[in-house]
Amino acid sequence: MRISVITSNPGKVREYQRYFEGLGIETVHMKVPYDEIQSSDLEEVVRKGMDELKSKGISNFIIDDSGLFIDRLGGFPGVWSAYVQKTIGNEGILKLMADVDPRDAAFKCCIGCNMNGKDIIVTGVCDGVILNEERGNEGFGYDPIFSHDGDRSFAEIPMDEKNNVSHRGEAAKLLLSAMRNIL
């Protein structure tokens, strides 16, 4: 079985390859532009993207959308996480969080999969906190300011450990469980 990971981020493709190892599923990188609707709901963004891709005749694919949701900022940056990362970055988030307590946050990842004519949509969540400063050199994006255990940032832990506890890792576990029912 071959499944296309539709993304502009080759790092996501490598993560999915690790998740599917041993299942007989080959993952390939596919870049196909599609509109990402403006919505505050990750699942709605993924569902609309899947519908557009299927209308183009594409099947057997995975797309995902993820975001960092900070409780005391009303869920900001949420679905706009990528844009916020590009514009104000971690430094901007830390400024917004100055003197904010508690610092609870969650990473969320919604994966949409079309496989054998069936759609699967799952969402994984990793609860944690926003640290007071950037720490670590691993990972990307908000990893240096997010901690799942209140101690180490995602940028300070090995990639395998991060993939096991992260929002995308949790969503991938849910996806694999659902896919076993289709295979």
pLDDT for residue 25? 84
> Please, what is the average pLDDT of the chain?
92
Q: Which domain holds residue 74?
A: 2-180
The count of other CB atoms within 10 Å of the CB of residue 75 is 16
Closest C-alpha to 64, from 141, 181, 168:
168
Residue with tokens 């054998």, as numbered in its chain: 116
- Tell me how far apart the alpha carbons of residues 153 and 75 are, in angstroms, rounded to a whole number: 20
Q: Give yes or no for residue 45 having a pLDDT over 80.
A: yes
Count of the separate structural domains present in the chain: 1
Entry pTM = 0.91
pLDDT of residue 8: 86
- The confidence score (pLDDT) of residue 183 equals 65
Q: Which residues does residue 69 pair with via DSSP β-bridges, in sequence order? A: 77, 106
Mean pLDDT across the stretch 90-119?
Answer: 96
Confidence (pLDDT) at 181: 78
Just list the catalytic residues. 65
CATH number of the domain residue 61 falls in: 3.90.950.10
Per-residue pLDDT of 8-41, as tens digits, reads 888 788 888 888 877 788 899 999 988 887 778 9
> 69 exposed, middle or buried (CB, 10 Å; 0-12, 13-18, 19+)?
buried
Query: What ranges in the chain are assigned the alpha helix state H?
Result: 10-20, 42-55, 81-87, 89-96, 159-165, 167-180
